[in-house]
Structure 1
Amino acid sequence: MAEGSALEVATAFLEAMVDTSRVDAAERFLAGDVHVIINGTTFSRAEYLDRLETSDEQFEMVDVTIGTSLTAGRRAAFTQELLIEHRGTAYGVEPGHERFTECAASIVTVEDNLITEIEITHDPTATLEALGLLSADPTTEKLRDQYYEILNRVLRHNLRNKLNVILASVETFESDPDAAAATIKEKTAGLLSTVEKAQKIEQMAIDTPLSPTQFHVTDTITEVLDQYERHHSVSCRCVCPDESLELRSDRSLFQNILEETIQNAILYTNTETPEVTVTARPASGQGVVELEIEDNGPGIPESELEPLRQDQETQLLHGSGIGLWITKWCVTRLEGQITFGTEKEPTVHITLPNLGH
């Protein structure tokens, strides 16, 4: 085969991605010792093929257009616009938006009609991963599946019930306006709370990339507890024998865990003033923090805990809200472990590791 220019080989490579698949094209055009550099990170041929294989399971390149190009010897630099089609359902892909375009810029080095180096300065696969649309991590996929399952139940069951109560109260407004107004206000607040929690899941527990930072555990816990004492009828206490205790984790998700467990303590209490104690200490194992959240209530009902243990909800088995799921999802994303308290022992146990850079 006559040796083509670097741009001709690169163009044939991209067209093969459209005609066959990205994996087939890569196997055909990439040299065995190729270096693939994506946003500054270098991948071997095998590693890049793994990325493409994962992407091909969900996304297909429909078309490609080469834009501005420059060739110098065995190297070519060019921009390209990719038309990509999503094959199934994924978080963030709305009906009718299954096709979308991604622009990328590449520099390729070619020898004997094989690409020996390719540098991608903007990679659609990396963009999809950052959006949470593509992941080879089964934990992330499981969280996304649970998100849809729980949100579907909340929208169909909880919201419908609250709306029915509001409509019934409107009909009785003339006969007992004070009672009807109080009921409408209560149920409307519940609806707003549910929507806010759903947004919290979307923004914090599913698609937002983690942002690990080093922070003081005691200061962070105290900040959350003080906020709840100011705005709720609740008594909070932080017990941290080692005030210098630090954790490298996503601070927002850490705060979210505390907020949801405190809200659950308020929700399930039968006392006039809920009392919540958060204890933090180093756990066994280097770089691990153990949290215990205890309250003076009767504990979380078994009917609320069973779906969490089974990792799913059904029409016959579901809890009344999504706060417990938010807590569990956040702990899972932070690579931790959680054990919910029972009606006999109302203490939530959480262990969290230090996250990498």
Structure 2
Amino acid sequence: MVLSPWPVVASFAAAGGTVLLIRHLWRYRGKPGADWFLASLGAQATWSLAYGVALVTFAEPMRWALEVLSWATMAGTGVYFLAFALAYTGRGGVVDRAWWGFAAFPILVGLIGATNPVHGLAWGDFEVVRVLGVAGAAYDMQLWALLAATAGVLLITVGSLLLFDTVVSYGPLYRREAVAVGLSTFPPVAAVLAWLYGVGPVPAVSFVTVAFLPHVALDAYAFVGSDMFEFHPATRRVGERAAIDDLGAPVVIVDEQRRVVTLNGAAERAFGVGKSAALTRPLAALLGEDGTDPTETDAVTVQSGGRRQIFTVTTTPLSDAGGTHVGYTVVFQDVTAERRREQRLGVLNRVLRHNLRNDMTVVQGFTEAAAKEVDDPAVRDMLDRAESKAAELVALGEKARTVERVLDSDPRSERVDLAALLETVRAEHASDGDGTGTVTVEADAVAVTADPAVLQVVVGTLLENALEHAGEAPTVTLSAERRGGAVAVTVADDGPGVPDHELDVLSAGAESALEHGSGLGLWLANWGATALGGDLSFDTREGTRATLTVPDGEKRGPAGGS
């Protein structure tokens, strides 16, 4: 039995190992970079097999043809590996735009080698020599061959650097595997350079296919069992870019000197400037600010295209992977319509509330005085009704004032004894009301952490609503109990129940011309419940049970209330 020389065995082993790796990775076709990596492995397997056969082929024409095939597949291995690295790390757009160049490069190298006898651009004085028991090839490389081989080495090097940059920048997931893929290129690249520039004792034999053995071993470590193609940096890279470019709000990235580094399309449109014109300009100048640093303010006003827009500004420090501060991400939110709406509502609220409180108080006083001077019962009845309506409007104005005071105040959070709070609400009704109706309090030692002012307004509003709409001499019960991690405060009456259309308005979240409530009471209770982080519900099957449920973040103490 004749044993083949070890370079031949190593070449065939590299080809076989590469084919097995291709078989394992075949299921990942279509994943970012996978097709190009399979193409690179295919060229590598062909190269290893062709060179293994070449090493036992002493017939010069056949040996020359196999040498040409080795050069073509060498070029394919390098260029396809670069395409893989680009696509895998989220730079697939480069490959998509120039895919024909990646595909044509190995074909061009093969054609120049095949037609070398005509032009002599690749090599000269081709000769088959016996060395180490194999058929080596000795020839003088010309400029084209040197450039093609050097380009292949550079392509592989660039691809490896892309992988290293990605694993350093994008966290630990598959970091060891990606590093292994990058390192796997070092043995064959070193072997190519040594053969290309005649370094070593046997220049007529290329040991690149032998160096594929550790290359295949490292690739197998990276891909077999790791599902590396199931997660790829392309998702994160494209996602980060899309998070800025596709965001509807203007986003500007600035350096530490607040000079524009990049901005998204929304910022270009909002500020009326193209990206190329905005780069390196101070952000303040871009926004038309005179000396004011936009990153130090909460809002800016921008005049662009004949429009005046107001933006809130959110500035976030930007650091690199080493934690060094390198700039800021500045996000602008257009609040022009919101600010104008708030301004209009503020003016209307102040004017109407002022008129209701002052003018209707005057109307109420004159109407009451006139009623005392009139003897005609019909006229007195009309004046009494007018006085009643005036009183209702004054009360409505006070309710609107309460809404503004409660909802616009700074929230507080303290421990509230609900039994004491319910007694306070009952006492306020007794002192303000006309004495009709019975109000009782049923509450154990229950406490909750909440804003006491808002809580008292909500319960008082529900009690007022119950006494007003529950009929003659109603019975109302105020109660509180703990329900798991929350506290429920219930206002129950024995009246006819809140009309469905009143509750439908709350459920819809807005009033319309055909569906609206009778006042601000339920809205005030609903808004207050939301401000407390709670929920307001109604049960109208037997009377009305309005239940305010407020979450309690504080643990219960031994006293039972807290």
**Which of 306, 310, 327 is the aligned partner of 2:525?**
327
Identical-pair percentage: 20
Question: Per residue, is there more strand in 1 or in 2?
Answer: 1
User: 1:116 pairs with 326, 330, 333, which one?
Assistant: 326
RMSD: 5.0
Superposition deviation, residue 251 in structure 1: 1.3
- Equivalent residue for 1:314, pick from 495, 512, 533: 512
Equivalent residue, structure 2, for 1:255: 456
Of 11-20 and 322-331, deviating more is: 11-20
Q: Which residue in 1 is equivalent to 2:387?
A: 185
AA of the residue aligned to 1:203: R
How far the C-alpha of 1:9 sits from its partner, in A, is 4.9
* Mapping for residues 97-112 of structure 1, pairs under 5 Å: none
Q: Distance in 1 between matches of 2:440 and 2:496?
A: 18
Structure 1 residue 193, shift from structure 2 partner: 1.6
Residue in structure 1 matched with residue 414 of structure 2 by the alignment: 213
Within 5 Å, which residues of 2 pair with 1:33-182? 62-66=287-291, 83-84=300-301, 116=326, 176-182=378-384
Higher helix fraction (1 or 2): 2
Larger Rg belongs to = 2
Instruction: Determine the C-alpha separation between the residues in 2 that align with 1:249 and 1:321.
Output: 26
**2 CA distance for matches of 1:297 and 1:289?**
25
Tell me the residue number matched to 1:196: 398
**What corresponds to 1:231 in structure 2?**
432
Task: Answer yes or no: is 1:278 the counterpart of 2:488.
Answer: no
The answer to whether the 8 Å contact 2:476/2:494 transfers is yes
Structure 1 residue 254, shift from structure 2 partner: 0.6
Give, as a single letter, the amino acid of the residue that structure 1 aligns with 2:326: T
Counterpart contact for 1:300–1:343, Cα < 8 Å: no
List per-residue Cα deviations over 1:178-235 (Å, max 9, x = no partner).
2233122211111112222223223323x44422222211111111111111221243
Write the distance in 1 (CA, Å) between the matches of 2:475 and 2:447: 25
1:265, distance to aligned residue in structure 2 (A)? 0.8
> 1:291/1:181 Cα in 2 relative to 1: closer, same or farther (>3 Å)?
same
Distance 1:331 1:355, change over 3 A: farther
Deviation sequence 1:18-50 (CA, Å, 0-9, x none) = 97469x99xx89xxxxxxxxxxxxxxxxxxxxx
Q: 1:79 to 1:338 in 2, by over 3 A?
A: closer
Q: 1:293 corresponds to which residue?
A: 491
CA shift in 2, pair 1:293/1:99, >3 Å: same
Separation of aligned partners in 2, 1:345 and 1:63: 62
Structure 1 residues 82 and 349, CA, compared in 2 at 3 Å: closer, same or farther? closer
Does the C-alpha gap of structure 1 residues 196 and 19 become closer, same or farther in structure 2, counting only changes over 3 Å? same
Q: Contact 2:288–2:303 at 8 Å: present in 1 too?
A: no
Residues 179-188 or 9-18, more deviating: 9-18
> 1:300 & 1:99 partners in 2: Cα distance?
43
Other-structure match for 1:267 = 468
Q: CA deviation at 1:109?
A: 10
Secondary structure of the residue that 1:64 maps to in structure 2? coil
Q: CA 1:221–1:98 in 2, change beyond 3 Å: closer, same or farther?
A: farther
Mapped to 2, the partners of 1:314 and 1:223 lie a distance apart of 36
What is the CA–CA distance in structure 1 between the aligned matches of 2:516 and 2:381, rounded to whole Å?
Answer: 29
Q: Which one-letter code corresponds to 2:476 in the other structure? A: V
Gaps of 5+ in 2: 1-253, 281-285, 555-562
Residue 201 of structure 1 aligns with an amino acid whose one-letter code is V
TM superposition shift of 1:324: 1.0
Letter in 2 for 1:10: Q
Aligned to 1:349: 547
Kept in 1: contact 2:255–2:261 (CA 8 A): no
Deviations 1:290-349 (A, max 9, x none): 112112322212232222233332222222112111111211222212221316342112
Q: 1:10, 1:108 within 8 Å by CA — same for their partners in 2?
A: no
What is the rounded CA distance, in whole Å, between the counterparts of 2:261 and 2:412 in structure 1?
34
Q: Residue 324 and residue 81 in structure 1: after superposition, are their counterparts in 2 closer, same or farther (change >3 A)? A: closer
Q: Please, which runs of 5 or more residues in structure 1 have no aligned partner?
A: 1-6, 30-60, 69-77, 88-96, 135-143
Residue deviations 1:250-304 (CA, integer Å, cap 9, x gap): 1111111111111111221221x33321110111x22x10112112322212232
Aligned length: 257
Q: Partners of 1:266 and 1:325 in 2: how far apart?
A: 17
Kept after mapping to 1: 8 A contact 2:492/2:546: yes
The change in CA–CA distance for 1:255 and 1:210 in structure 2 (over 3 A counts) is: same
Question: Contact 1:64 / 1:82 at 8 angstroms: preserved in 2?
Answer: no
Instruction: Please tell me whether the aligned partners of residues 274 and 296 of structure 1 are also in contact (alpha carbons under 8 angstroms).
Output: yes
Distance 1:295 1:330 in 2: 21
Question: Contact 1:67 / 1:81 at 8 angstroms: preserved in 2?
Answer: no
Q: 1:246 to 1:101 in 2, by over 3 A?
A: closer
Partners of 1:81 and 1:292 in 2: how far apart? 41
Superposed displacement of residue 247, structure 1: 0.7
> For 1:191 and 1:86, how far apart are their aligned partners in 2?
43
Structure 2 counterpart of 1:280, which letter?
A
* Shift in CA distance, 19/308, structure 1 to aligned 2, threshold 3 Å: closer
Instruction: Say whether the 8 Å CA contact 1:293–1:347 is kept in structure 2.
Output: yes
Distance 2:521 2:261 in 1: 46
Q: Counterpart of 1:84 in structure 2: which amino acid?
A: T
SS at match of 1:238: strand
Give the TM-score, by structure 2 length. Answer: 0.37
Q: Distance in 2 between matches of 1:86 and 1:342?
A: 54
